[in-house]
């Protein structure tokens, strides 16, 4: 049985994540305004679907800001679309947690659900409360699970929505604006691949360090 099509798709997705600047710019040139629909889908899926934590929203937002700075995209439209996707994605994730949460704690590790990452998000949420929703926006993997955990923990929707809107606003406008002003600098353009890798690896290392510290302090 030929498995090349699935493998080709996986290879393309990995390449898109690691070279989002090239692919996104090409998409803008080829399809114009449809890029905003693509951005909405990517950010909504990353934040709204519990089993899709591998998408890298931070690097995507930075590249979008850089393209806005170059005049290839509209800064207000991009920010509005990304903000809507981020808020609605977390609301969807929260709702899934409220509905399915009690059953999830009985799941074992599977190919599509990382129980270890979920448990880390749950512990992080229990320790720091609502501010976790804001902080997790800047932490890959955790930002996918934290809204779900908030739903499982039956955090009131009004309180969750307030933290959600605050976190999404800081995340979207902060990173897109950084890309807008810094993305066009020669040094940034020459080292964009390294910056993207840094935006992927550094938050992950911080999360790992925090988990290690929590484990060493626990009795």
* Per-position DSSP letters for 151-164, written without gaps between them: HHTT--HHHHHHHH
So what's the pLDDT on residue 47? Answer: 83
201: left (phi over 0), alpha (psi -120 to 50) or beta: alpha
So what's the pLDDT on residue 173? Answer: 94
Residues 79 and 172 sit within 8 Å (Cβ to Cβ): yes
pTM assigned to the model: 0.74
Q: Which residue has the higher pLDDT, 104 or 168?
A: 168
Average pLDDT, the chain: 77
Domain count, the chain: 1
Give residue-wise pLDDT tens across range 101-132: 656 555 555 555 556 666 665 666 666 667 77
Q: Which domain holds residue 118?
A: 4-217
Band (180; pLDDT cuts 50, 70, 90): very high
Band (187; pLDDT cuts 50, 70, 90): confident
So what's the pLDDT on residue 11? Answer: 74
Give residue-wise pLDDT tens across range 7-21: 666 676 667 665 665
């Amino acid at each position: 049985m030929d498995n090349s099509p699935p493998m080709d798709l996986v290879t393309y997705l990995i390449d898109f994540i690691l070279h989002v600047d090239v692919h996104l710019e090409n998409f803008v040139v080829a399809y114009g305004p449809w890029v905003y629909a693509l951005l909405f889908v990517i950010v909504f899926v990353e934040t709204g679907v519990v089993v899709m934590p591998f998408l890298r929203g931070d690097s995507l937002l930075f590249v979008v800001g850089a393209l806005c700075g170059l005049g290839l995209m509209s800064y207000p439209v991009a920010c509005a679309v990304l903000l809507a996707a981020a808020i609605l994605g977390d609301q969807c994730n929260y709702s899934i947690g409220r509905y399915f949460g009690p059953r999830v704690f009985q799941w074992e590790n599977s190919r599509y659900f990382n129980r270890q990452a979920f448990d880390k998000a749950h512990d992080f949420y229990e320790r720091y409360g609502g501010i976790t929703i804001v902080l997790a926006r800047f932490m890959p993997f955790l930002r996918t699970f934290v809204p779900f955990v908030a739903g499982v923990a039956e955090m009131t929707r009004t309180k969750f929505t307030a933290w959600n809107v605050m976190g999404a606003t800081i995340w979207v406008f902060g990173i897109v604006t950084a890309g807008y002003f810094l993305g066009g600098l020669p040094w940034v353009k020459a080292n964009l691949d390294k910056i993207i890798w840094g935006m992927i690896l550094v938050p992950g290392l911080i999360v790992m360090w925090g988990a290690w510290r929590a484990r060493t302090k626990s009795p």
